Structure 1
Amino acid sequence: MFDFVDYFAGVGGFHAALDGLGGRAVQACEIDPKAAAIYEHNWNLKPEKDVRELAQHPDTIPDHSVLTGGFPCQPFSKSGRQLGVAEDRGTLFEDILKILAAKQPPVVMLENVRNLAGPRQSAAWSRILRGLREAGYRVGSRPTVFSPHLLSPDSGGAPQVRDRVYILGVWVGRDRAMTEVDLDPVVPHEVEQGWRVGDWNIESDVLLPDPSAADIHRYKLGGDEIAWIDTWNELLQMLGDAKLSGFPLWEFAWHERRPNGFRTMPAWKQRLVEQNRDFYLAHRGAIDAWRSRDREIPLSRFPASRRKLEWQAGSGERNLWKHLMQFRPSGIRVKQATYAPALVAMSQTPIFGPRRRRLTPLEAARLQGFDPATFSFADQSDSASYKQMGNAVNVGVVRHVFKAFVEKNADDIAACGPAGTSILESLGIDVPLVSTSVAAS
């Protein structure tokens, strides 16, 4: 058994993954009281409240072999302001560095949004790598990015596209860490050999038996929502075999003339308006007939985001009720019900068309790799539960990436002494004979 600390712990994705590999959490930290309550309920460990306090008092931190942390993603997310380490939450990473310097666990594993390693966050990415190396941890410059839908069910995969960056380091001392930087990603961003992502099926791989009649109404779509979907279905039928565009369809932009203010729009919006205008002119008869139909809720009363359709179901049946949907600010997104888009900490819960309902919180937990038979939201509200799943790390991916990292770095992990060998032994990896020169480095 090896000991680990679980910081920015959320509801316990890292905990579930490492516990399944023989780890034992000796400390957790989570500032969100709702997430902390779920964590304590499931793992029988009460999280500390603030990692900044722990960084100031490292003597309160138990010795451990692995430090994990899904440090705040909002400063780096595409859905945020992307201020990176310039935002206060982005500087919490510095507290992780203080703890690593004080405790020197053999392995560190961090998780964040893919955008962290993107071009807009190059300064933040470089700062993170430099900080870890100065603390003595060897980390590669090329990011490890992985998603649960790339793994088969037998390997712990789940039908959710959720690319995340995983930063893993082994303690080798500052001199080696600053020079040994040209490393391959821990795992390649590719589908597991022998698996086909098109074999995922939301109904069989995610959905649980419908809740009782007393509860099912909480997840069923309302009258307005059904009307929005039925209205778009009417258009799909009237368009027949006409090719659906690869761009979002904007009903309010379907006019013969360009709208007022067109030339002052940003380039991306001008492009979409032009594409929608061309689409309208090509299918004017069907669109005008569709618009002129009498409805209880006319198109003009639809919310702006429901007058947009993002068809991503390819050649699938042109019936929204046959697919997976999301109500997003960018429109009604439709894709085939193989694997789901990434869960987010906002009200964009996937809708399973054939059952005309949203996924339940436990089904969302299943997308994140939690076992619905043992995991509980501790009687919290649905909205709070969905939020926690949007913020969670995927259990199966953490387990997959961590095992691969330990196998690749067994020699240096063993050189860290008993704290390192406990990791190898727990994972069933033969402990290498460490030479004196390796141990001394």
Structure 2
Amino acid sequence: MTFKYIELFAGIGGFRSALDGLGGGCVFASEIDKYASQAYKALYNGAQELHGDITKIDAHNIPDHDVLVGGFPCQAFSVAGQRKGFEDARGTLFFEIARIASAKQPRLMLLENVKGLLSHDGGKTFETMCVILHDIGYAIDFRVLNSKHFGVPQNRERIFLACDRNAEHAEWDVTGSDVVARAKRRVRALGIRTFNFDWPENGEVTTRLRDVLEMQVDEKYYLSEEKTAKLIAQLEERGIETNVDGDGCAMVGRVNISGYDQRKRVYSPDGLCPTPSGLGASGNEPKIVETTVIAGSLEHYGNDQMNRVYSVDGLAPTITVVSGGGREQKIAEPYTVFQKTTSWTTTVKYDETGTLQAARLDKVPQVVTPRYRIRKLTPRECWRLQGFTDAQHDAVMNAGISDSQRYKQAGNAVTVNVIRAVGKPLVKRLKQTESSETGNRSTSEMEAV
């Protein structure tokens, strides 16, 4: 252990999963949710350091620590903007962070919240928070980071606030007019202590939703035929196509492409996943479309591999029992349909080897058409989107935590990859201070001699 930290509003330990790998040791954690606490204990060897409601814990009973971290719930300040400093936070969960930091004075803090916090109540809520942090002795810096730049295929923007008790004041060089730039100009005008944190740069978006999908999925995650047919009908009314928005979330069709009715949205595996927030309620899980090309009238799913026909655009299934008798895997290639000026249609069909199979006149063209299946993302896939390992997810699943709770836990977590990226310069700053303090002590001791 190279540094000690505490994790408030711990959830399933997104901060912990990253900081433990950077040399951190958790000496105290707090979480009020029954199922999240159960999951936390399953993940971290029983987590004897985990406690309950932080509002009922005396700050002086919390162990000394170097770093305080937490993704606190976003509660509106009832009197935000009145500039009453520390008093403004009373009645909110942010007050618990300020209360503990004021008493324990950890060297650093890293806090996370939704991007909308910057503009809540015209920016007054966030400005009040910054004033409070200044009043209890911290310099601050903040930035919005998106999970999609850190190796997970999820468009998830969050505000991160770094606080340093020992940092010298440094002016921000603010450019642009986005929500962060506007907030920095407002905060700068308050005359509080600021510094420039070494934030990680946005990396290239290298992963897509398909990269975290499970190869085999239980049928319970697929929509019923009735619901699937209804959604597909809506998609076909608008033309089945993939629409990639500015954030890289590839949506199939144009069903409710605007607004927040995610229950009716269907996403393509070729894009990014939207933020999996608000999970836990049935039907709110992000849905994806799987395309299976079916030849003729064959519509076989499940384990009937003898009758399955696969698309050449995908992967072959496991090659098993290939001793003949019709059990070999089959593929389908769309055959060409030529329309004549008469009411008759010439249909030419080829088999998988390219050999002419049939040529006939028919009033109704016989074509190979795509068949769509729509399913929810699985809990494991949602945990992958947040940077947790399969072993972590499975440990919680095996502890008896339900699907709905594991969905909720993923949606409420911080993205481990992002915390790891931010944690590296945080730990570096902590080590630099320790080296400086060690050097100063040595100089003082020599002078004393």
TM range (shorter): 0.5 to 0.7
TM-score by length of 2: 0.63
Measured after TM superposition, the shift of residue 405 of structure 1 is: 3.4
Measured after TM superposition, the shift of residue 341 of structure 1 is: 0.5
AA in 2 matched with 1:226: T
Task: Tell me if the contact between 1:144 and 1:185 (Cα under 8 Å) persists in the aligned partners.
Answer: no
> What whole-Å deviation, never above 9, does each CA across 1:327-364 have from its counterpart, x for those lacking one?
95267335543211101023432222116321111110
Task: Tell me if the contact between 1:72 and 1:89 (Cα under 8 Å) persists in the aligned partners.
Answer: no
AA in 1 matched with 2:51: E
Given the alignment of the two structures, is residue 320 of structure 1 paired with residue 252 of structure 2, yes or no? yes
Measured after TM superposition, the shift of residue 398 of structure 1 is: 0.8
**Residue aligning to 1:232:** 234
Given the alignment of the two structures, is residue 124 of structure 1 paired with residue 135 of structure 2, yes or no? no
Q: How far apart are the structure 1 equivalents of 2:52 and 2:262?
A: 36
When residues 146 and 330 of structure 1 are mapped into structure 2, their CA distance, relative to the original with a 3 A threshold, is same
**Residue aligning to 1:275:** none
Alignment of 1:200-279 (within 5 A): 200-203=207-210, 205-211=211-217, 216-237=218-239
Alignment of 1:52-63 (within 5 A): 52-54=55-57, 57-63=58-64
> What whole-Å deviation, never above 9, does each CA across 1:143-192 have from its counterpart, x for those lacking one?
311011112xxxxx21111111111112128999996734446426x631
Task: Tell me if the contact between 1:206 and 1:367 (Cα under 8 Å) persists in the aligned partners.
Answer: yes
Task: Tell me if the contact between 1:70 and 1:393 (Cα under 8 Å) persists in the aligned partners.
Answer: yes
Measured after TM superposition, the shift of residue 319 of structure 1 is: 9.3
Alignment of 1:225-374 (within 5 A): 225-237=227-239, 312=244, 320=252, 329=261, 332-336=264-268, 337-346=270-279, 347=281, 348-354=284-290, 356-374=374-392
Q: How far apart are the structure 2 equivalents of 1:23 and 1:369?
A: 18
Task: Tell me if the contact between 1:160 and 1:341 (Cα under 8 Å) persists in the aligned partners.
Answer: yes
Alignment of 1:189-200 (within 5 A): 191-192=202-203, 195=204, 197=205, 199-200=206-207
AA in 2 matched with 1:368: Q
Alignment of 1:4-43 (within 5 A): 4-43=5-44
> What whole-Å deviation, never above 9, does each CA across 1:252-287 have from its counterpart, x for those lacking one?
xxxxxxxxxxxxxxxxxxxxxxxxxxxxxxxxxxxx
Larger Rg: 2
Q: How far apart are the structure 2 equivalents of 1:398 and 1:9?
A: 13
> What whole-Å deviation, never above 9, does each CA across 1:304-334 have from its counterpart, x for those lacking one?
xxxxxx95469x9x993999x9995267335
Given the alignment of the two structures, is residue 162 of structure 1 paired with residue 160 of structure 2, yes or no? no
Alignment of 1:77-96 (within 5 A): 91-96=92-97
**Residue aligning to 1:402:** 423
AA in 2 matched with 1:361: P
Range with greater deviation from structure 2 (30-39 or 333-342): 333-342
Given the alignment of the two structures, is residue 48 of structure 1 paired with residue 66 of structure 2, yes or no? no
For structure 1, the 5+ residue unaligned runs are: 77-81, 152-156, 239-243, 245-309, 419-431
Task: Tell me if the contact between 2:109 and 2:162 (Cα under 8 Å) persists in the aligned partners.
Answer: yes
When residues 174 and 53 of structure 1 are mapped into structure 2, their CA distance, relative to the original with a 3 A threshold, is farther
Task: Tell me if the contact between 1:113 and 1:163 (Cα under 8 Å) persists in the aligned partners.
Answer: yes
Q: How far apart are the structure 2 equivalents of 1:128 and 1:15?
A: 24
**Residue aligning to 2:144:** 145
When residues 363 and 343 of structure 1 are mapped into structure 2, their CA distance, relative to the original with a 3 A threshold, is same
Q: How far apart are the structure 1 equivalents of 2:102 and 2:196?
A: 25
What secondary structure, in the 3-state scheme, does the structure 1 residue paired with 2:112 have? strand
Q: How far apart are the structure 2 equivalents of 1:433 and 1:34?
A: 47
Q: How far apart are the structure 2 equivalents of 1:368 and 1:29?
A: 20
Task: Tell me if the contact between 1:97 and 1:132 (Cα under 8 Å) persists in the aligned partners.
Answer: yes
AA in 2 matched with 1:338: G
Q: How far apart are the structure 2 equivalents of 1:40 and 1:61?
A: 19
Q: How far apart are the structure 2 equivalents of 1:36 and 1:319?
A: 35
**Residue aligning to 2:356:** none
When residues 357 and 132 of structure 1 are mapped into structure 2, their CA distance, relative to the original with a 3 A threshold, is same
Aligned-CA RMSD value: 3.8
What secondary structure, in the 3-state scheme, does the structure 1 residue paired with 2:25 have? strand
When residues 398 and 102 of structure 1 are mapped into structure 2, their CA distance, relative to the original with a 3 A threshold, is same
Question: Would you tell me which structure has more strand in proportion to its own residues?
Answer: 2
Task: Tell me if the contact between 1:8 and 1:69 (Cα under 8 Å) persists in the aligned partners.
Answer: yes
When residues 99 and 414 of structure 1 are mapped into structure 2, their CA distance, relative to the original with a 3 A threshold, is farther
Q: How far apart are the structure 2 equivalents of 1:65 and 1:185?
A: 17
AA in 2 matched with 1:162: R
AA in 2 matched with 1:135: I
TM-score by length of 1: 0.64
Structure 1 segments, 4+ long, off by >6 Å, are 86-90, 173-180, 432-437
**Residue aligning to 1:282:** none
Measured after TM superposition, the shift of residue 233 of structure 1 is: 3.0
Task: Tell me if the contact between 1:326 and 1:334 (Cα under 8 Å) persists in the aligned partners.
Answer: no
